[in-house]
A and B are shown apart, each in its own frame.
Chain A
């Protein structure tokens, strides 16, 4: 649960993204991790080993807990990627999926 400081709210353009299919107005300049937290999602995935929920932890690219699926690509470090208009973010369940039949497969 995160809130935007009053001084900061409304000082940048809104950027439309979807999280698990739902549309959110993210703030331009936010990383995807920040956008997830601002939208009320403190968990962005479940682990491949035990299905445990995890969310961003270090916010600087070293913990690899902030992983989510971005535009069909799994295991993206959301704390390193800025939001973009039209970006599709999905919380990742377990291991990344590739191969015939996986969403977003080439």
Chain B
């Protein structure tokens, strides 16, 4: 019996839709299974950074993987423009990580130095920028800003447009999108997978778990583990403001539409995505220290979203030995890694093998007890 789909991708967020698009581009018949309108959607909570600086302390290959994605991002942006007619407003002018005290700056500089010195780390250059030099690139910077680290590889884009573009491009390439199809069970029968959803059954030769926090209960069904937990982050969004900022900062960026996004908080709050006034106040007060003139700009909205966090914060890419053809893909940098997912990871999945060079990202590493 001819099967309708080659691959079922579970999860229509940034990770799932990037993979699905990449697979559809390769000519595979892909079903993208998604939940309903109100769900713990990390993808609606993205900041929009396409960021290299600072990543990979503790897992050198992550630095290289991130750089690979960032290098191929213009390629992804062009493809999305072609396939979806959507411009994701990718800008890669380099980015700053601001520090609000000399101690913070020293700590940051030291961290980055240790990061790039790791064995096997794909090195890149970064600058430690003092206040004086910073004030020229970021006019209006507040007196409490001590300095920053700058990396030429950093950038940002419009994450909601990226999300919309991936979905539209997926459809344009013949993909099949199934919303309101929350996955209840996955079974492997006769060399194929049967996925039982709230909207009926899907049969596919391969299945990719990209359901974020939903991966945890699903992974064991295909002989995999996805030890992910929610980590709450909040963002403050300001109204549209006439352009004042030409670079992304790690915790503040001005979007192509003129609105301003302010982050970034990390809390272990379980599955609670309600807002905390105190955290918002802290985010706001730091932003006012960075750009005092924003004090009179109005907060349009705020949101809290749940990051999908692995135990060490690094992605988990794994293929199942028990159920060949099943993969789990999870990370908390769905934006930055979108190009790698669509253009690099998707072909490996299509080939049925993630490859030895990505073995650092299996959950094997999480079993190793690291020496203190």
Residues of A within 8 A of B (CB): 48, 73, 75, 94-100, 102, 105-106
B245's closest neighbor in chain A, by CB? A99
Given A105-B293, A106-B293, do A96 and B140 touch, yes or no (CB 8 Å)? no
Sample of 19 A–B contacts (CB below 8 Å): A73-B296, A75-B298, A94-B242, A95-B242, A96-B239, A96-B240, A96-B241, A96-B298, A97-B242, A98-B242, A98-B293, A98-B294, A99-B140, A99-B241, A99-B242, A99-B294, A100-B139, A100-B140, A106-B293
CB within 8 Å of A: which B292-335 residues: 292-298
Say yes or no for B205: interface residue by CB 8 A criterion.
no
Give Cα A100 to B293, complex, Å: 8
Most chain A C-beta atoms within 10 Å of own C-beta, residue among B242, B291, B295, B297: B242
Give the residues in chain B near A99, CB-CB below 8 Å. Answer: 139-140, 241-242, 244, 291, 293-294
Give Cα A6 to B242, complex, Å: 43
Say yes or no for B258: interface residue by CB 8 A criterion.
yes
CB within 8 Å of A: which B127-174 residues: 139-140
With both chains docked as a complex, state the minimum distance between the C-beta of B301 and any C-beta of chain A, in angstroms: 13
Number of residues on chain B facing chain A (CB within 8 A): 16
Per-position 1/0 for B323-364, Cβ under 8 A of A: 000000000000000000000000000000000000000000
Give the residues in chain B near A100, CB-CB below 8 Å. Answer: 139-140, 244, 293
A106 touches B240 (CB 8 A): no
Give the residues in chain B near A73, CB-CB below 8 Å. Answer: 296
Tell me which of B291, B292, B297 contacts A96 (CB under 8 A): B297
Residues of B within 8 A of A (CB): 139-140, 239-242, 244, 258, 291-298
Give Cα A75 to B238, complex, Å: 12
A98's closest neighbor in chain B, by CB? B293
B244 touches A98 (CB 8 A): yes
B297 touches A98 (CB 8 A): yes
Give Cα A95 to B258, complex, Å: 8
Give Cα A94 to B241, complex, Å: 9
Give Cα A98 to B293, complex, Å: 6
Give Cα A69 to B258, complex, Å: 18
B298's closest neighbor in chain A, by CB? A75
With both chains docked as a complex, state the minimum distance between the C-beta of A65 and any C-beta of chain B, in angstroms: 14
Give the residues in chain B near A48, CB-CB below 8 Å. Answer: 240, 258
Give Cα A98 to B296, complex, Å: 8
Most chain B C-beta atoms within 10 Å of own C-beta, residue among A75, A98, A105: A98
Give Cα A48 to B292, complex, Å: 23
Give the residues in chain A near B140, CB-CB below 8 Å. Answer: 99-100
